[in-house]
Chains A and B, each alone.
Chain A
Amino acid sequence: MMTKRTFKSPFFALCAGLGLALAGGIGWAQQSQVSAASPAAPPAVEPAPAGGPPVMRRLTESQYRATIADVFAPDVPIAGRFERAQRADGLIAVGSSVGGMSAFGFEQYDASARGIAAEVTGEKRRAQFVPCQPKSANAFDAACATKFVDTYGLKLFRRPLARDERARFVGVAKAAQARLGGFYQGLEYALVGMLQSPHFLLRMERTEPDPQHRGALRLDAWSKATRLSYFLTNSTPDAELLRAAGAGELDTDQGLARQVDRLIASPKLEAAVRAFFWDMLQFDGFNDLFKDPVIYPAYNSSVARDAQEQTLRTIVSLLVTERGDYRDLFTTRKTWLTRPLGIVYRMPVATRNGWEQAEYPAYSNRSGILTDISMLALHSHPGRSSATLRGKSLREVFLCQHVPDPPANVNFTAVDQVSRPGSTARMRLAEHNDNPVCAGCHKLTDPIGLTLENFDGSGGFRAKENGAELDLKGMLDGATFAGAPGLGQTMHDNPNVPICLVDKLYRSAVGREVVDAEGPYLDYLATTFGASGYRVPELMRAIALSKTFYAVALPAVPAKTQTAAAARKGDRS
């Protein structure tokens, strides 16, 4: 299977801008074309590792939650809230290495830290979490406090504590005990400190000289374990991975492979796949997505919650459980339903509370995740569908393309009177195509989105709009088709779809933009992905085993690196 990484798509620089109102809670991903020239024959073995800069990534909300659950227990409550994650180049995973931390954000971490520490050291559960008992009820037990600090320091900082760090947190415990009276209160505040530390909240990557390549750098074993673990489990390194890191096993091919295979086979892979797709599909947009309850009475908060879960379940079932072909996500009629969803889909759901597997009927016009409520509703207005938003998001999310904003000064009134009898979105949008300023971009979005027009702004089916028959013909990169099943099949067959996934998955794994020198490596990954039958766990395995994933290059010639980064960032400020 030949897979070219070069995106075969229209050059959007020619596109003057979108003429429709692109309102909504989603910050549009600004994504540059990935246009590094591919060699004629994509490499079958990994090219020499190029390496990008080390990054400092803030734990995302889901990573924080998973980490606390793994280090302590899933039922340890997290009291604080989380500030909204920022996206960079379409991914929160990349935004987590560039964004700041507000006073509000830290205040909330403080609340979480105090709640967790009180639970862990409280009378009810200390036997479960504290690895030793103090020798005396009154005197400070330095040995036990040190053991506690070492145990949780390793788990929370993802590396052993340095001597001065250990002394610092043991010192906190001692001082707190002196003031508050109890040994466990001392431990409580030592733990609060570790949970507030930048070494916990930020994944700071450390480098060391690469003994195999003179003058080159690589991640140290602990940073390797951390990168690997959050990539394959969306959580902190477990005890076995930390042991392997400490024993130097991650620096050998065999030792690394053993850990990668173990994690790929573990049930936690599902969490990683979920977290990645939640991010890629921009489901954080549901946080401020509203639908008019008069126009869409069936859409409510249960539907909004279940709609996201439905799509994630479909993805996990196909990609992880069945080890299926990624491209089939666009054509499969297999899905999952709850009763609230059944009302919008107009499908019977036998299960009273909870989920059941289901299949979209052939006549439903639904196929693949593009026809899930989650995708259809997220990229619509509060009171109507939007062919433009749907087309734009499809290009940005699944094809890694960037559709520019509408030009600043355009007359939009052509798309007025949405409810005019006999009017359809296609008729209204046709006005744009008569206007050369608008047509450039609308040609890229609308022919895709219009094929989904028999789904309303909440994702419900409609045969007609304002009494008029719907024309569902569409076009994408030269292929013509009709309706959602046609769109799904076209996406399935589009060679850029898997290439874009490779690009996003790798960027998510390393938490940064691709550097130019990594172009051949991404070609290699795309080839590997194709050869595996587009199995996502296989792609993750290839990334996790590759040298490139752990390679680090400090920007020796900063000017050059910056230029490449700036070029990729396009017009982003």
Chain B
Amino acid sequence: MTVTEAATLARGARLDADVVVVGSGPAGLTVALDLAGRGIDVLVVESGGRGVSPEARDLDRGEVVGEPLRFAEAPYDTSSMRLRVLGGASGHWAGMCRPLDDLDLRARPWIPGSGWPIDRADLEPWYRRAEATLDLGTTGWDPEAWYERCGTSALLPGDRLTTTIFQFSPPTRFATDFERALEAPTGPRVVVGATAVDVALDASGRRIDELTLRRADGGTLTARATTIVLAAGGLEVPRLLLAWDGGRGVATSSGLVGLGYMDHPHRTAGQVRATLGSELPPLYAWGDAPGDGAPAKVWAGWSPTPELQEAEGLGQAVALLRFTDALTGATAEPTAVTDAMGRLVSWTIDPAVHRAVVTVRAEHWPGPGSRVTLGTDRDASGLPRLRLAWRPGPEEERTMRRTVELLAEELGRAGLGRVEVDPRGRPLAEGPLEIGCHPMGATRMGDDPSASVVDPDLRAHDVENLYVCGSAVFPTSGHANPTLTVVALAHRLADHLAGDAG
């Protein structure tokens, strides 16, 4: 319908709707647009404004008590991980997409806490819708389809590694790409500059009666709805649940809100010297996909097969090559050995000797070591600042190193190249550890109310009119970027809520 600045509304104004969605990122706007398109009265409340502001960004500042956060070879903080603005994190999203694998949703005995309460096949229809929402191509995720499209074949056939396809959204910027839908008479109402700082529960304690929204100038509004969808992002969702109800917390009876936090650990291994043909193989270097079919950007890497993961007790992981003639960073500094490796390959008849670096990303095993809690300081809205402990463990390190080692072995087996597994001889696990800016898992989904926060329909076990949508509900992380799954779950939730409404 319209996007309204909270500051233009009268102090104390009460907003009513069938559904209130807290957060306007990919999850929130997907749910809101789907429901509004079915004639349901939806109100979206967004803490940020139409544009990024330092004041809004400050609300995301928090304390990091675990592993220091690094991203893109630089120190990072919690306020950089989020984007408190209309459209949410889609405003700085790189667009990298991949659905979760069958294995990701299965219980794996060697990974404590693994297993989703839904099957991967259950998500399939919503993945198709999410692909359309995110403007992905239609070639799909089966490597064979991409080999056919690109006129190529598996670079490393065998039973230890599988080709893993990533596609890139343009990327979809929800605030601008869906602006027309948001402004349409049938669109949801959106109020920006309104932070959901608290809720009031009814006498039973099992329903949210009212949301308290705070403007930047301190003025408050209230919102009431039959259904509340909390879609504020993987860090903010647990923070709000812990802080709401006057600090007593909401949906916290399991004691699990904030626990099991996950973000994909990344490491940059060393360099690769490879002879992969006169041109870069079309799938394995990030770029436009050749061949017939809808335009698409694609990037393929390699993951240990499910069988090998089970045999060796590994988590999910993917190794990707970044090809460049102008390698940067510490791993690009020449040494006698890297120079020797380069000259070994430069002696080929084919002058196209590729230099690359290997980036490896692993599934973050769910566990109590990583969590979101509340700090003692408060932000300008009065909410306690978040405190983040992110601590990947030895299993993730073992998985990452083994994945790079497998890539080295398979490239060598194929006679294609050599890999510097430990950069400059320094063990891979001693190098800089980076996040993926993929906050997940701190309000996990499950059947058992004592072991999860939301049920398979994403409804809070403790609060019958509260739903959580976003990566916070992931019980496990896989290695895939979460946004495609987030949007798929949002479409699924919208269908569920529309069914309830009908």
- Is the pairing of A and B real? no
Hey, which bits of chain B sit against chain A, CB under 8 A? Answer: none
